[in-house]
Amino acid sequence: MDSPAAIKILSALGHDARLAVFRLLARRAPDALRPTEIAAVCGLKPNTLSAHLSRLSEAGLVTARRDGTALYYSLDRAIVAAFTGYLLNDCCRSRPDLCLPATPVKLARPFKVLFLCTGNSARSILAEAVLRAVGPDRFEAYSAGTHPSGQVNPQVVKLLARAGTATAPLRSKDLSEMQGPDAPEFDFVFTVCDHAANEECPAWPGQPVSAHWGLPDPAAVTGSDADIALAFAAAYRTLNTRIKAFAALPLETLDRLSLQSHVDRIGQTTTQEETPC
């Protein structure tokens, strides 16, 4: 990247709304978002957002793809990497004391994994329970909510009981319990709902590997008891597939870039596994 390109990017980011859009897309990377979601999260009118996305696209930071009649926007990660490299690596000649994080990533057993959602009543609870069952000697699983409901959804308790998974240690809790000097230092932080992923990220000690493993909220499904049970079963199957794939990774040997690529890819997978009964 050369100086004019970097200056164009800096100019595009020199506006609070455009910076907010950029940061949202960075939090959700590698996902692509529809303009309606971006506008809702950032509090922007559609025409105003369109102008900001156009400016970010002109600077090379944002790309758009069309799926039928819908448009989806995401970061151009190659351009973002080139830009940050130009600012840091070129300027400080790749000196590790200036360019690299002060605290290196540490991966040592048991790996501490946090699952986040908004209510911490269904999806993140399911994920915590599945990881506890899949890797009790290799992982310590936790979950929390940015706005916790205060109780585990009864459908989750029933489903886990049918699957033979322990439910006794599970409870709905606030994200604040996972922060502070006495909180665990996490190796991995996964968001499992879009609302939690869209919120500003806390500063996690040790810079854990993070990814968005979003899936539909089964608690939002209405209809017959069978419809609701099927929604919870589908969420369980998807999380079960993802978590088993994650637990199978050779975590001790992968470098951070490879590990990030793996967990991002896992977050895009669906499942063909059988529903627990």
What backbone torsions phi and psi does residue 89 show, to the nearest 5 degrees? -65, -45
> SS3 for 194-221, per residue?
HHHHHCCCCCCCCCCEEEECCCCCHHHC
Q: Which helix (H) or strand (E) holds 166?
A: none
User: Of these residues, 42, 92, 99, 193, which one is catalytic?
Assistant: 193
| 8-state DSSP, 188 | E
CB distance 254 to 263 below 8 Å: no
Q: In 3D, which of 108, 124, 227 has the Cα closest to residue 171?
A: 124
User: Of these residues, 91, 92, 117, 277, which one is catalytic?
Assistant: 117
CA dist 52 and 46 (Å) reads: 10
CA angle 17, 116, 244 (to 5 degrees): 125
Q: Which helix (H) or strand (E) holds 11?
A: helix 3-13
Q: Indicate if the alpha-carbon torsion angle 141, 174, 115, 79 is positive or negative.
A: negative
Which tokens in the block code for residue 222?
């209405």
User: Of these residues, 42, 99, 201, 277, which one is catalytic?
Assistant: 201
CA dist 47 and 57 (Å) reads: 15
Q: Quick check: is 193 catalytic?
A: yes
CB distance 233 to 226 below 8 Å: no
Q: In 3D, which of 182, 5, 150 has the Cα closest to residue 87?
A: 5
Q: Quick check: is 201 catalytic?
A: yes
Q: Which residues are catalytic?
A: 117, 193, 201
